[in-house]
Chain A
Amino acid sequence: MIYAYFLIAIAVVVVAQRLPDKRAKRALFLALGIALLCAPLFDRNDATFNVLADAGIFVLLALGLNIVVGFAGLLDLGYAAFFAIGAYTYAMMASPQFNLHLPFWLLLFLAAAFASAFGIILGAPTLRLRGDYLAIVTLGFGEIVPQIFQNLTKYTGGPNGIGALDFPSFFGRSFGQSTIPYYYVVLALIALALFFAYNLRDSRLGRAWMAIREDELAARHMGINTTAVKLAAFALGASFSGLAGVVFAAKLSLVSPDLFQFQVSVLIVSMLVLGGMGNIPGVVVGALVLVLVNNVVLPQANTIAASAGLHVDFGNYHFFIYGAILVGIMLFRPEGLLPSRQRKEELHHAAA
């Protein structure tokens, strides 16, 4: 059953990308949206919506990182840091930790704001760096942030993290143990993120990002303030991640530093590479495919193996599996499953 959700969502996005007519495209997305909204009326399996909410969280992360890497061309290997900042914002302000019990909805805003502030703080020193150097420095930030949360034991609970986070509530009704409310929150946030991502792409700022990605020096000569434009990319990208972090923490009711290790950043970058860097539908598909592999296929493979008397944990091999997928993509379809026109041509020219 869970496969049906993923496959239908992926199929709709892929088909929509191929439709030349804008209206037909919109109608298709609208239909998918309505179907997803109605799904919990027919399917009461909490576990399904748990997986779907997780998938949605990664879609948000992929959309956010796509702004930084896909649109502005700034390779960020430490993106999970902002996810952590969002999650810890919720954990510290809606838990017994400091006896603060701020509302979930307020914390969504606060976390987005904190994450973008950190996006600027971490982005500022890297402004002069490009390519490999930028990747190394952001990788460093991605390592430092969870380390800080790990070591500030007094405030963050150290390696054990913070537990017993508040259940969010909606007009006085607690989300409780059900995962369905989170699923709805995630859907709403994705709708918002898509709206922002498309608007940004087709705007002054999106054009400036494209220009610095193509040729930063020429962009500066055209009067584009590359400093401001890059910081905007870091800040906006991070804000999506902050939102995702809050939902993630609230749903799990727990945060700990090991949830935000380097692997998470790599996973999100892999989603972009797999789906098609810079293309919004592409990165959504990339996120869905990898979550499907990670959260559905691998656990099932374990069960099947166990019933056959084998004791393997495929979860331990997920990096091997992403690696294989990425190598495959690089060899056979380097522009990703669902690339933008731009990226496709770029790679064609690079190859020619």
Chain B
Amino acid sequence: MLRLERVSKRFGELIAVNELSLSVAAGSISAIIGPNGAGKSTLFNMVSGIYRPSAGEIFFEDARIDVWPTHRIAAAGIARTFQNIRLFSFMAAIDNVLAGEDSHLHARLWDSLLHTPRQRREEKAARERARELLRFVGLEGVAETYARNLPYGSQRRLEIARALASRPKLLLLDEPAAGMNPREKGELADLVAAIRERGITVLLIEHDMGLVMRVSDEITVLDYGERIARGTPAEIRNDPRVIAAYLGTAVA
């Protein structure tokens, strides 16, 4: 579904991602792990179109997307969350989700100006879907609360709901468990599994090994922008290079 071919990203002298090749199978949950600064977020930024790769190519469902504008990549079915939450802070939770639906709405300028029957119908249906998504991530009670005023864990879940609203085929989650307590992490693991049940492929960056091992079908380990290992959770857990480079005593 997603394929990276020898993708590199340089920032001046720094090589953040170095000739990385990677493929993500449709319907899977894959994780990318690695120490801070390994280039994980940079990778997401290239897939979602914030950064252009310095070299290499990125394909999504066989279309070459690394030359597309960001909103087109989003409309093609790639949605994401951000390591540092980037919600629309002073918009109600439900409006955040509705903004995520934008590329699936048909209202034109005239519809917005005149509130045509078509616009009203569409808006009503969109609102219903947004409520359903808020329910799905467990935020049904706070639809009218400003994103900014939600607790941290809820903000992370709202970001996921907003991303889902764009009806992605591939969802990129950048450290979704950061700042969550153990109970919230457990709920997140269930949520990620439920997202896959909906037929959405998930690619996630995460530091919490318990979570990664529990949900992932496949794990890729990055270090200094290069792939140093790839395999199932069991394989990764026992890979000596991984233990040396990254996991250390944490998993042993």
Contacts and interface: CB of A to CB of B under 8 A. Distances in A.
Interface of A: 196, 199-200, 202-208, 210-211, 214-215, 217-226, 232, 236, 342, 345-346, 349
Contact of B88 (A199, A210, A232): A210
Contacts of A214: 88-91
22 contacts: A199-B113, A200-B112, A203-B119, A204-B123, A205-B109, A211-B102, A214-B88, A214-B90, A217-B70, A219-B88, A220-B71, A220-B74, A221-B50, A221-B71, A222-B79, A222-B162, A223-B100, A232-B109, A342-B90, A345-B90, A345-B148, A349-B89
Nearest to B104: A223
B121 interface: no
B166 A222 contact: yes
Contact of A222 (B102, B109, B112): B102
B61 interface: no
Contacts of B71: 220-221, 223-226
Interface of B: 48-50, 69-71, 74-75, 79-80, 82, 86-91, 95, 98-100, 102-105, 107, 109, 111-115, 119, 122-123, 146, 148, 162-163, 165-166
Tell me which of A206, A208, A225 has the highest count of chain B C-beta atoms within 10 A of its own C-beta: A225
Given A217-B86, A346-B90, A223 B112 contact: no
Given A210-B88, A211-B88, A214-B91, A221 B48 contact: yes
Given A204-B119, A218-B86, A220-B71, A211 B113 contact: no
A199 B108 CA distance: 13
A222 B74 contact: yes
A210 B95 CA distance: 10
A199 B115 contact: yes
Contacts of A203: 107, 111-113, 115, 119, 123
A204 B80 contact: no
Contacts of A219: 88, 99
Nearest first, the 9 closest Cβ-Cβ pairs linking A and B are A223-B103, A203-B112, A223-B74, A214-B88, A205-B112, A218-B86, A220-B70, A211-B99, A204-B107
A196 B88 contact: no
Contact of A204 (B48, B70, B105, B163): B105
Nearest to A222: B100
B102 A207 contact: yes
Contacts of B165: 222
A199 B86 contact: no
A223 B168 CA distance: 10
A223 B166 contact: yes
Given A220-B70, A221-B80, A223-B102, A210 B91 contact: yes
Given A204-B123, A222-B102, A345 B146 contact: yes
Contacts of B146: 342, 345
A223 B75 contact: yes
B99 A208 contact: yes
Contact of B112 (A204, A211, A217, A346): A204
A196 B163 CA distance: 30
A346 to B, nearest CB: 5
Given A222-B163, A349-B148, 11 more contacts: A196-B113, A203-B115, A204-B102, A205-B109, A206-B112, A211-B99, A221-B50, A221-B71, A223-B166, A224-B71, A349-B89
Contacts of A222: 74, 79, 99-100, 102-103, 162-163, 165-166
Contact of A221 (B70, B90, B148): B70
A44 B112 CA distance: 40
A345 B100 CA distance: 23
A344 to B, nearest CB: 10
Contacts of B69: 220
Nearest to B105: A204
A203 B95 CA distance: 11
Contacts of B95: 207, 210
A346 B115 CA distance: 29
A72 B123 CA distance: 20
Contacts of A204: 102, 105, 107, 111-112, 119, 122-123
Nearest to B149: A345
B128 to A, nearest CB: 15
A306 B48 CA distance: 68
A232 B163 CA distance: 25
B100 to A, nearest CB: 5
A199 B107 contact: no
| Max chain A C-beta neighbours (<10 A), residue from B71, B100, B163 | B71
A268 B89 CA distance: 27
Given A210-B91, A345-B148, A199 B98 contact: no
Contacts of B112: 199-200, 203-206
Contacts of B80: 221
Given A204-B119, A345-B146, A224 B90 contact: no
Contact of A218 (B49, B88, B109, B122): B88
Contacts of A199: 112-115
A202 to B, nearest CB: 8
B91 A211 contact: yes
Nearest to A215: B86
Given A203-B107, A224-B71, A208 B102 contact: yes
A225 B50 CA distance: 14
A211 B103 CA distance: 13
